[in-house]
Amino acid sequence: METFNLPFCFPVTPEGFRANANMKYAQRRLSEMRDYFSNYDAIKSVLAQSNPIIYEYWEMEYAGSGNGISFGMTRIQPGQIGNEYFLTKGHFHADGLGDEMHLTLDGQGLVLLLDREENTTCMEMQPGRMCYYPGHLAHRTINTGSRPLVFMGIWPPHIVHDYETLKRSGFPKLVVAGQTGPELINNPRFSPMN
């Protein structure tokens, strides 16, 4: 983990984040995301042709002493696997602490929220809109548009992200392309978390 050299300033764009040497960068391709989509036949069909980037992110965890914030940027590509939109893995904050907020910079999408009692809700993401979630809610972002969904996230330092719970169980709901736009449907592969 890098300690920030304070103060600093750089553009709030994927290119600005990419140019900052202190940023951690990662990308997620379909081959790494196959457990997060429900249609195995569609996954196999796409992977037979290519292994697309589903999303990429840049982040900087605050490692200094005292108060600070951690932040990052995510870019989800437009696309679908079967009728499911491209999405992030999603995660809980392991200790249920540490609220998070996302500020949408470009594109459109939804953030799917889930509590430990398996209640699901979603919020719309569009440029200039901020979404704020309490630390006990799992969150997954979904690109429902035709261009990349780009958003900046801000969270307290030292949060432990729990990706494994959602990898095992999934979300109870899926966001799919319906006849008139995105629809929230039951996930046929959901396994109860408890």
What does the alpha-carbon distance between residue 155 and residue 74 come to, in Å, rounded to a whole number? 14
The SS3 call for residue 170 is coil
> For 122-144, what is the mean pLDDT?
96
The pLDDT of residue 119 = 93
Q: Band the pLDDT of 147: cuts 50, 70, 90.
A: very high
The upper half-sphere exposure of residue 72, i.e. CA atoms within 13 Å in the direction of its Cβ, equals 17
Q: Alpha-carbon dihedral of residues 19, 25, 31, 36, nearest 10 degrees?
A: -120
pLDDT above 90: residue 14:
no
Report residue 97: phi and psi, to 5°: -105, 165
Task: Evaluate whether residue 151 is within a structural domain.
Answer: yes
- H-assigned helices in the chain: 14-19, 30-33, 40-49, 164-169
Q: Which domain holds residue 136?
A: 14-186
Other C-beta atoms closer than 10 Å to the C-beta of 53 total 16
Q: Which residue has the higher pLDDT, 96 or 165?
A: 165
Are the C-beta atoms of 89 and 33 separated by less than 8 Å? yes
User: Contact at 8 Å (CB) between 173 and 184?
Assistant: yes
Cα–Cα separations (whole angstroms), residue 100 to 19, 96, 114, 157: 24, 11, 14, 11
- CATH number of the domain encompassing residue 65: 2.60.120.10
Number of domains in the chain: 1
Does some domain include residue 165?
A: yes
Residue at 9 is within a domain: no
Within-domain flag for 2 = no
Residue 51 lies in a domain: yes
Q: Do 141 and 76 meet the contact criterion of CB atoms below 8 Å apart? A: yes
Confidence category of residue 5, pLDDT binned at 50, 70, 90: low
Residue 170 within a domain: yes
158 located within any domain: yes
Indicate if the pLDDT at residue 1 is higher than 60: no
Q: Is residue 45 part of a domain?
A: yes
CA 178 to chain centre: 21
